[in-house]
Each structure stands twice: as C-alpha cells, then as structure tokens.
Amino acid sequence: MTKFFVRYLELIASKAREVDCDLLEDMCGMMRRAGRRGGKVVLVGNGGSAAIAGHIAVDLTNSAGIRAVCFNEGSLITCLANDYGNDQWMSRAIESYGDKQDVAVLISSSGRSANIVNAAEKARSLGMGVATLSGFFANNPLRQMGDVNLWVDSDIYNVVETVHTTWLAAAVDRLALEMRQLPALPDERVTRMTAKDRPVRVKMEGVIL
C-alpha cells in the first residue's frame, strides 16, 4: 500500500507543477490591484471548493493584508437559494456584495456548476476582475470566463481540489512576502506574522520566494 501513497503524492506534485506560473503572477496582480483600490477578493465554491474559498479568504486577509470574503454562511445560502434557486444564489450574493474594484475567484472542480458559471457572468457584468480555477474537462465553460483561468488536468476530485488549494496558498504567500517586504533568505523565509508582528519562521528548503 505504500506504493499507492508514493504514486498519489507524485501525481499531486506533477499536476501542481503543470501550472503556467505567469498566470499565478497575473492572479496575484489582480488581487494586489483590488487591495490598492480599496476593493476586496470574493471567493466562491461548492462543497470542498467552498472550504478552499473560506481558507484562502482568511489567509488573504490575515497574512497578505488584502480584504477577502466568501459566502459560506448557511443562512445566506439557504435564503438566496430558496428565493432565487440554487443555480442563482451565488450570482445574487455577488450582485449584493460585489463592487467594481473587486476580484471574484471562482472555484469549481468540474467547471460546470451552474451557480458558479452564473456567478462568473454576474461578476463580469459588474466590471469585476475574474479568476477561475477548474479541472476535469479542458473545454469546461468556467475556464473560458476569467481574466485568468487556471485548470488542473485531472478528473479526480481530491487531486483537483488539492492542487487548487496549493496554487491559491502559493499566491497568498507570494503576496504576504511582498507586503511585509521580507528579505530573501537562502534557507528560511518569514511567511506569516502574528497579531503582534512576531515572525514565525518556516523552513523552505530549496525554494526561492
């Protein structure tokens, strides 16, 4: 069974490395500009992707100093889904809470979830920047809708979601490092600050940030 984990982790690593790093830089640029303009990052997803959205929203706010929100509150979801339908609730949430200077980050493993696709359309109609993360089908509709479109070439849910998390977490650390204007060290980096700005040093062997 050990071979399973070896193969699995190799698969995760290989899929994560397939990304065009210029696209990650472009997504960081969108988030950076939103923050400088007084905007925010709005992250949305279903199920596991909603958990990713919540995780990254907290990290962007706390570590990178860029305001970020997600729509994971049960009362909000059930209210809007009940009133407008499950395929429209995210669109209604973005219409209510989104601003032109914001960036919407839309996360869907399949890229075919109707509520995510409708949310992308709404965000674009409001003039928001749009970044998408999807997987499964190369021609999925969500992949065609963003200013930046990141796609994982896999049809395994946990692989796609883990890679999405990795890419977004990397973007957070990129922005956090920049915001703190931290020195580039050969073997260790300060990637997070506590509320008292006490550095927590994390080993990053062989990684130049």
Q: Shortest CA distance to 130 belongs to which of 53, 16, 30, 206? A: 30
Q: Shortest CA distance to 168 belongs to which of 36, 28, 70? A: 28
Convert the pLDDT of each residue in 143-162 to its tens digit: 999 999 999 999 999 999 99
For the chain, domains (ranges, CATH) are 9-181 (3.40.50.10490)
72 to 41, 75, 83: CA distances (angstroms)? 14, 9, 17
Could you tell me how far CA 173 lies from the centroid of its own chain?
12
**pTM of the predicted model as reported, rounded to 2 decimal places:** 0.85
Convert the pLDDT of each residue in 100-139 to its tens digit: 999 999 999 999 999 999 999 999 999 999 999 999 999 9
pLDDT computed for residue 181 by the predictor? 52
